[in-house]
Structure 1
Amino acid sequence: MRRATILTLRIAIALSLVGSLAIQVLILPTVWRDLSDAPTGWRVASVTIVALWLVCLQVVAICIWRLVSMAADDAVFSARAFRFVNVVIGAISAAAILTAGFATLLVPGQVAPGAVGIIYGAALATGGVALVVVVMKSLLRKAIEMRSELDEVV
């Protein structure tokens, strides 16, 4: 990978981590206070879902950072990469479930059905991203096998 690409990826990942931490520390407490009139169960569930969704984002960012580091060291074509890819798949899948849970939480409320539908669509799209990563994992597996075969030939 080119050095500029790695640097750009690392900057984007660092910004997403800083931004997500800022949301957790600065904005979620404000949301909690703003929801003071909401039923306690709904308030706890909604803020918890958003907080967990941010944790999923952070886990994905850290795993991608590690994979970028492995790519920079030309070590991404190894079995060690699967550990990070599997965690990414799990975190993205969890984010999809959390998004669907949030949409479900909004169903009985005053939120427009179209908005709830959009959030369910976002959950579906997020699940699709997890499936794309599963496909990429199978491509990584094939690349590792081909590299091993090539190493044997050489």
Structure 2
Amino acid sequence: MTRIERVVVPLRVLLVLGFAGLVVAQTFSLPGQFRYMAEQNPDLGPVPWLLLAFAVLEVLCIQVVIVCTWRLLTLVRADRIFSDESFGWVDGIVWALVVGWVLLAGVSAFIVGVIYFTPELRDPGTPMLLFGLVLIGGVVVLTVVVLRALLRQAAVLRADMEDVI
């Protein structure tokens, strides 16, 4: 077993387990939780169902990242990670993260607005938590964009080295 196989195989096992857990969450846990919320708080109107849509879309973004990561691992094993094919999968990860981040920022802004304009809900903890999550999400998105640029540079350098050799 090569050095890379020692990392790729366990990572693939974890990706499969994570993907399966997300499918279970999407189909059973999240709908059940938000249905229960709607039943217990009928005065919320459509809010639980909007939050369900948000949660399912966020999970879908994570699933896209998992699938793209799986494909990149296939390219790593085949020693083709520096090919043009890999950039499509990395772009898939970037766009999934951007969509997830924009959704999170939008829902967070809405929730903070509701809290701000509802005097009995003015607990500073929730807005601070949401701001922190949006900040961390932005850092993750920008880090992946930088890693994509590094992959591009490495691909160019590898192509140059292959031309020399």
What TM bracket, shorter-length normalisation? over 0.9
Further displaced range: 44-53 or 117-126 = 117-126
Runs of 4+ in 1 over 4 A off after TM superposition: none
SS at match of 1:99: helix
Contact 2:35 2:48 in 1 (8 A): no
Secondary structure class of the residue paired with 2:146: helix
Name the counterpart of 1:126: 137
Instruction: Name the TM-score, length of structure 1 as normaliser.
Output: 0.92
Deviates more, 1:51-60 or 1:120-129: 120-129
Structure possessing the higher radius of gyration over alpha carbons: 2
TM-score (norm 2): 0.86
Q: 1:89 to 1:111 in 2, by over 3 A?
A: farther
The one-letter amino acid paired with 2:163 is E
Bigger relative contact order, structure 1 or 2 (CA pairs below 8 A, ≥6 apart): 1
Task: Please say if residues 22 and 59 of structure 2, whose CA atoms lie closer than 8 Å, have aligned partners that are also in contact.
Answer: yes
Unaligned runs of 5+ in 2: 116-120
How many residues of Structure 1 are paired with residues of Structure 2 in the alignment?
Answer: 154
**3-state SS in 2 of match to 1:35:** helix
Aligned to 1:32: 34
**1:96 matched residue in structure 2:** 101
How far apart are the structure 2 equivalents of 1:77 and 1:61? 19
Is 1:135 paired with 2:146? yes
Q: How does 1:1-154 map to 2 (within 5 A)?
A: 2-36=4-38, 37=41, 38-107=43-112, 108-109=114-115, 110=121, 112-154=123-165
How well do the aligned residues superpose, as a CA RMSD in angstroms? Answer: 1.6
Moved more, 103-112 or 88-97: 103-112
Deviation of the 1:87 alpha carbon: 1.0
Overall identity of the aligned pairs, in %: 28
For residues 70 and 9 of structure 1, the distance between their equivalents in structure 2, rounded to whole angstroms, comes to 14
